[in-house]
A and B are shown apart, each in its own frame.
Chain A
Amino acid sequence: MTRDEFRGGVIAEFDSADELLGAVHQLRAQGYSALDTSAPFDVPGLDEALDLKPSRIPWAVFAVALLGALFSYWVEWYTSAVSYPLNAGGRPPNAVPAFIMITFEGLVLAGGFAALFGFMWANRLPRLWHPLFEVDGFGSASSDRFWVGIDARDPQFQPGDSTEALRALGPRRVVWVGEG
């Protein structure tokens, strides 16, 4: 899938996650590639059906957490061994065991922020307005309905055909979204 996220096109509302999965599989089989879904929970199997690659957030977390650990240790080392060496209980200026706790906390803190901000960055959030929010009843996507959309940028997208393709799947309703 090349397109990143749904911007506008035609969407359909389904009653259950299984219907949604079935719809995605059928649309994929018909050759549509720019599909997206909205669901109230993380429906298992959708990633595979939509051919989504695994999130790269874990790598970001790993890298940033490592930086956080290095930075924390650096602060401890610089303040205690370089800037103002102080003999505390006969410990060496660079007291490695004593510095481990804060190094670890720095790792976790940085990693945690990387996870949240990585999540926001990857999803382009916050984004308080979206064409989908203009659709009456789209709020059901966060409660108990399941939506699938064909993006208008899909090379196979034809207003009439695509609407028909969605209708044929037996949704509750089919709605047009966005500028198109």
Chain B
Amino acid sequence: MTTLPLGQQTLGQSGTAVRSGAAHVSSARDHDGLATVLELPLIEPDFSDHVVSPPWVQSRNWWILLVVSGAVALVFLSLVGYSVVAGIGVWGSQIPVAWAFPIVSFVWWIGIGHAGTFISAFLILLNQRWRGSINRLAEAMTLFALVNAGIFPLLHLGRQWYAFWLIPYPATTDVWPQFKSTLPWDVAAISTYFTISVLFWYLGLIPDLATARDRSPGLLRRRVYGLFALGWRGTARQWRHHRAAYIMLAGLATPLVISVHSTVSLDFAIAQLPGWHSTIFPPYFVVGAIYSGLAMVIVLTLPVRRWLRLEQVITDRHLDGLAKLMLVTGLMLLYSYAIEQFIAWYSADQFERYQYLTARLSGPYAPVFWAMTIGNLLSPQLFWSARMRRSKPALIIVSLIVLVSMWAERFVIIVASLNRGFLPSSWKLFIPTWVDWGILGGSFGLFLFLFLLFLRFVPTVAMSEVRRLAYDMETEGDAAGSSARARTATGASHALPAPAGPDAYGPARGEA
């Protein structure tokens, strides 16, 4: 046994080299008394069968939730219908606050969607294999958030039956969309984003749909899943093309997701209005989007993990990773807030200064501004602590605070800016009507309804990816330090030199 390098001595008990399995566990504790998260296995490779079975949840709670969320979704659809029939004057929007709740919700829901694409596309390009257990869930969240997000701007057109005017079809009137405006950009960005998200999701699903086909109990299910599985047989040739196409879609979706919220931010940034006319908007919006989306992923993952008993594949490593990502994006948001305020002051423009330094800090919507600032900037700081990153109550509470605060942020940007424009004589307070509140609340019903259907009918965990991950951990893992158990079995210890081979799970602490 060689002498431990200096940095590793604190890990072992009293600085001695550790040999036995029991001592190994104690050596893997940090100052919080918890096992260092990178010591934990990414997933438990010998996960039980239900984890990689098609879901087919049979539960009374599922039905209760489905009925409740379905009822809320019906309220949402009725209010959407009411807004179409009666006209959008039933909302609180007016002049100068022509954009209010629906646009706030649109920006917020689009942002929620971003985390799903972030997890599935960014992380696969970065070879972060931990995404495998949660990407399906996160991508489904993206799709359903986009369904909601798509309804709002369409509704906001006022005369929704002319929505097809946004498409450049050859009309006898010779009138085309005005492509120098940001609004047709929005149409292109959102519809592309939704389409690509569906394609990406579906391509990843094909092998799992084949599993569902092969394990379905009834003929009808076999046929339905079989139809969607397209006749997938998992041959080496098919996998080769699947891999290539999947990476291509990931490579396309990654810049796409950045472009989408950038486009959304340009709706504002291209206008002259103080509070909107800012060059930091595109990155600021993208960061905020991923931040709020990660919060939604946590809010959805924790109950689903418990409900479908997925603890073996959605482990503390995943929670820890999500919390860290939230902390990072939260810090980037802090930077954006600071720069926004600073530039407003530095511009020496009286309208900018008034908007940022007076109206927001002490104007009529100041409580919303302070809620957003405190909620978004302070709450994720909890995640500096490893204990908090794995505490379920902390994760849920912080995520809910972040979701509300991010909605508040969009409210501040949109409503507080419009409310105090250049001309004080046209300042007018915005007060939401019951229809505004109903549509906002109802959109959650639709979202939950669709998500519950997803849990029931679609493989929730990317089965083929989890199987591949388990295989990789088996072949590289017992040497690569991803599984404490495997190492204990072979009697290896921290003092042994770090083994060769790919180390996608991150090095164990003692082997760094």
Contact = CB atoms under 8 A, between A and B. Distances in A.
Interface of A: 4-6, 17-18, 36-44, 46-47, 50, 52, 54-55, 57-58, 61, 65, 72, 75-76, 79-80, 83-84, 86, 88-89, 91, 95, 98-99, 101-102, 104-106, 108-109, 111-116, 118-120, 122-123, 125-130, 132-133, 139-144
Q: Chain B CB within 10 Å — which of A17, A72, A116 has the most?
A: A116
Interface in B397-445: none
18 contacts: A17-B471, A38-B235, A42-B242, A54-B240, A54-B244, A55-B240, A88-B178, A98-B180, A101-B185, A101-B189, A102-B185, A105-B192, A116-B199, A116-B202, A116-B203, A122-B241, A128-B231, A143-B52
B215 interface: yes
Contact of A36 (B203, B231, B237, B242): B237
Contacts of B233: 38, 130, 132-133, 141
* Highest count of chain B CB atoms <10 Å: which of A36, A39, A52: A39
Interface string B175-199: 1111111001100110010011001
Contacts of B236: 36-37, 39, 43, 46-47, 50, 52
B179 A115 contact: no
Residue from A52, A57, A108 whose CB has the most chain B CB atoms within 10 Å? A108
Nearest to B238: A123
B280 interface: no
B471 A41 contact: yes
Contact of B467 (A41, A99, A104): A41
A173 to B, nearest CB: 17
Contacts of A40: 207, 211, 234, 463-464, 467
B252 A108 contact: yes
Interface residues of B, number: 63
Interface of B: 52, 168, 174-181, 184-185, 188-189, 192, 195-196, 199-200, 202-203, 207, 210-211, 213-215, 226-227, 230-246, 248-249, 252-253, 255-256, 259, 263, 266, 463-465, 467-468, 471-472, 475
A92 B464 CA distance: 52
B245 A115 contact: yes
A142 B207 CA distance: 7
B480 to A, nearest CB: 15
Contact of A119 (B189, B235, B242): B242
A80 B285 CA distance: 29
Contact of A6 (B235, B239, B463): B235
B222 to A, nearest CB: 9
A31 B177 CA distance: 63
Contacts of B238: 123, 125
Given A4-B237, A141-B234, A42 B179 contact: no
Contact of B249 (A115, A127, A129, A142): A115
A37 B179 contact: no
Nearest to B184: A102
B259 A105 contact: yes
Contacts of A83: 174, 176
Contacts of B235: 5-6, 36-38
Contacts of A118: 241, 245
A52 B240 contact: yes
Nearest to A114: B248
Given A104-B259, A115-B245, A122-B241, A79 B230 contact: no
B192 A39 contact: no
A142 to B, nearest CB: 4
A37 B238 CA distance: 10
B30 to A, nearest CB: 33
Nearest to A106: B188
A115 B199 CA distance: 9
Given A130-B231, A139-B214, 19 more contacts: A41-B207, A42-B468, A46-B239, A55-B245, A61-B248, A86-B178, A102-B184, A104-B255, A105-B188, A108-B256, A108-B259, A114-B248, A115-B203, A116-B202, A119-B241, A119-B242, A127-B230, A141-B214, A143-B214
Task: Classify the secondary structure of A's interface with B.
Answer: helix
A142 B248 contact: no
A55 B232 contact: no
A1 to B, nearest CB: 9
B257 to A, nearest CB: 10
B435 to A, nearest CB: 32
Nearest to A65: B252
B237 A5 contact: yes
A55 B468 CA distance: 20
A139 B174 CA distance: 56
A125 B206 CA distance: 11
Contacts of A50: 236
Contact of B259 (A4, A38, A101, A143): A101
Contacts of B234: 38-41, 141-142
A5 B475 CA distance: 29
Contacts of A4: 237
Contacts of A122: 241
A54 B192 CA distance: 28
Contacts of B214: 139-143
A91 B270 CA distance: 13
Contacts of B168: 75, 79
B211 A143 contact: yes
B196 A109 contact: yes
Contact of B179 (A41, A79, A113, A116): A79
A126 B245 contact: no
A126 B230 contact: yes
A128 B222 CA distance: 11
A86 B215 CA distance: 60
Contacts of A38: 233-235
B185 A57 contact: no
Contacts of A58: 244, 248
